[in-house]
Amino acid sequence: MGFGNWDFKTMDLTQLTIKEAHNGLRNKQFSSKDLTLAYLEKIKKSDKELNAYLSVYEEQALIQASEADKKIAYGNFGMLTGLPCAIKDAIMVEGLKCTSASKILENYVAPYDATVVKKLKKQGAVILGKTNLDEFAMGGSGENSAYGPTKNPHDKTRVAGGSSSGSAAAVAANMACFALGSDTGGSIRLPSSFCGVTGLKPTYGAVSRYGLIAFGSSLDQIGPIAKTVDDCRIIFDAIKGKDPLDATSIEPEISNFKFQISNLCIGVPKEYFVKGIDPEVERIIKDAIKKAKNAGAEIVEISLPSIEFALACYYIIAPSEASANLARFDGIKYGFSVDGKDLLDVYLKSKGKGFGNEVKRRIIIGTYVLSSGYYDAYYNKAQEVRKLIQQDFAKAFEKVDLIFCPVSPVPAIKIGERTDDPLSMYLMDIYTVSVNLAGLPALSLPAGKVGNLPVGLQIIGNHFQENKILSVASQIEIN
Amino acid sequence: MISKEEVQHIAKLARLELTEKEVEKMQKDLSSILDYFNLLKKAPLSAKILAEQNFGGQTFRKDEVVSSHDIADELIGAAPDKKDDYIKVKTVF
């Protein structure tokens, strides 16, 4: 989009991409305060209905904006300086409430900044507020929030997707220039697909998780949700890198090479196009693959034979890790507590009243599969199968550069459609969880629509090949 | 179907109080989810061998001492019941 001719006085500033807004700030066509006020206005107008934000910090955002404007006036600023963003409420921002959309943390105030937040603040980004999610990031629809579901901006009778529901909806409805989400089994990609925005789940270890409320520690990863592929790249560059406070983080060697799609080989896993996929979604994904082929890419069919086990494997490993990680919320150390006759009673009652249904379900699943007598049959077996899935991808990436497949077998579902049947809800994650089990990077790129419902193409790369994913995505992006 | 007693036992291990209704729903949900997990029985035996190989080659990282910032007051401040610099809990015995 060229914007030399735009009239910034009359136009809607909230529609700008990061690049466009940055250029506008640099050219003094508007200030960070103008931008921030425009977003705050948009949130006031739209968010009552959408419920994307759990909290909005108008006063603080305006202070951050005026600080950014000073930086800009001195000419000392980066790509994200002065740009208003939203942070998933599982990521801590010092001094602000961090609820993880759970009642058990309803009054918890973050004592420090997550490393990613520290990095955004250092660049001078403006934090508008904290966004809604499935409680403790457990869910694919956004309906498991203790504070009500986020609605899909494209159809308010439908879900925004989860678990980073509010982050994706806020970007889609122009209530934030960009947002941070987290992805344990698809939680960035699924809502990005449902809301028609671009979301990147980075390689395991590429971005520090320090200050992210832990769910599945061998799977969790923080990543960007934005309007375009370029915007995702800018945010990823700002937040990636080794952090001494997260032992799993490393300094990734990510090349800046500009990959040309015509030199690349793209694999299409045959196991991803079987029964269960919506025919319209299948058509859109196949059209996107055709587009890559027309751009000169070589397309080959590949096989990931162990992928049929991925969902079962994930729903053993993730709840196991969650049941351990959530043990800390016991009514003693954080905000919410229910009184009882002795210490055990405080634990039982605080957890019983503080956690919602899905979180309880996952704690029970995790505790069950880790309990003696079942440990080998479930947890150990799942760890073995995880290796098979990793091996499948490793073999595939010997032959192909990237893998194209759907993000979800269906577009956004109706609110309430699957809430009574947890297994049918879990099946929505069938194309996303394997990426987390293998620690790979993957992007959700808007590829088309079924009616007015967006559908995302999933582009999976080998470890630390975010650059290759982003290069190819920007060459087939719908403008 | 998982028995009521089994769900209650697991809930107790997890320090989670469940209502009668929640136990009933959990019996149903857990049973169908565990049935689905049986799919893993179909996984090839090579999985076990592969896992053992990989575990054998695991590299351990060095213990690192990370100096954390001084937020003790904030951390104690988050507790619902406290006295001075102590977090108060119910009697254990």
Examine the residue annotation and report whether A192 is marked as an active-site residue of this protein.
Answer: no
Question: How near does any CA of chain B get to the CA of A463, in Å?
Answer: 18
**How sure is the predictor about B69, in pLDDT bands with cuts at 50, 70 and 90?**
low
> Nearest residue of A to residue B28 by CA position?
A421
- Considering the domain boundaries, does residue A97 fall inside one? yes
Catalytic residue among A31, A32, A88, A408: A88
Q: Where are the beta strands (DSSP E) in A160-308?
A: 178-182, 198-201, 222-226, 265-269, 298-302
Alpha-carbon distance of A217 to A447, in angstroms, equals 31
Strands annotated E in A368-474: 402-406, 442-450, 453-461
A474: left (phi over 0), alpha (psi -120 to 50) or beta: alpha
Please state the φ and ψ torsions of residue A433, each to the nearest 5 degrees: -65, -30
Shortest CA gap B24–chain A (Å): 12
pLDDT digits 0-9 by tens, A260-281: 999 999 999 999 988 789 999 9
Active site residue A163: yes
Q: So what's the pLDDT on residue B82?
A: 87
Residue A412 lies in a domain: no
Closest CB to A343: pick one of B32, B71, B90: B90
Residue A441 covered by a domain = no
What ipTM describes this predicted complex? 0.91
- Inspect the interface and report whether the beta carbons of B33 and A422 lie closer than 8 Å: yes
**Nearest chain B Cα distance for residue A132, angstroms:** 22
The pLDDT value given to residue A299: 98
Quote the pLDDT of residue A252.
77
Contacts of A385 in chain B (CB under 8 A): 40, 43, 47
Q: Does the beta-carbon distance from B71 to A112 stay under 8 Å?
A: yes
Pick the catalytic residue from A163, A350, A434, A471. A163
Category of A28 on φ-ψ map: left (φ > 0), alpha (ψ -120 to 50) or beta: left
Domain ranges for chain B, please list them.
Answer: 4-43
pLDDT tens readout for residues A164-185: 999 999 999 999 999 999 999 9
CATH number of the CATH domain containing A129: 3.90.1300.10
Model's pTM, two decimal places?
Answer: 0.95
Q: Rounded to an integer, what distance in angstroms lies between the CA atom of residue A346 and that of residue A331?
A: 7
Residues of chain A contacting B29 with CB distance shorter than 8 Å: 361, 422-423
Number of domains, chain A = 1
Query: What would the two tokens of residue A145 be?
Result: 């929030």
- Cβ pair A129, A43 in contact under 8 A: yes
Residues of the domain holding A115: 13-239
* The two structure tokens encoding residue A27: 């050219």
How far is A143 from chain B, CA to nearest CA, in Å? Answer: 18
Superfamily of domain B4-43: Glu-tRNAGln amidotransferase C subunit, N-terminal domain (1.10.20.60)
Question: Does A50 map to a domain?
Answer: yes
| Residue A1 in this model has a pLDDT that exceeds 50 | no
A88 classed as catalytic: yes
Count of A–B CB contacts within 8 Å? 146
Residues of chain B in contact with residue A345, where contact means CB-CB under 8 angstroms, are 90
pLDDT tens across B8-61, in order? 999 999 999 999 999 999 999 999 999 999 999 999 877 666 666 655 445 566
DSSP-derived secondary structure letter, A53: E
Q: What is the pLDDT of residue A385?
A: 94
The two beta strands, A178-182 and A222-226, are antiparallel
Q: How would DSSP label each residue in A10-49?
A: TS-GGG--HHHHHHHHHTTSS-HHHHHHHHHHHHHHHHHH
Tell me if A48 is assigned to some domain.
Answer: yes
Task: Give B30's contacts in chain A (Cβ within 8 Å).
Answer: 361, 364-365, 368
The Cα–Cα gap between A447 and A457 comes to 6
A404: closest CA among A305, A257, A286?
A286
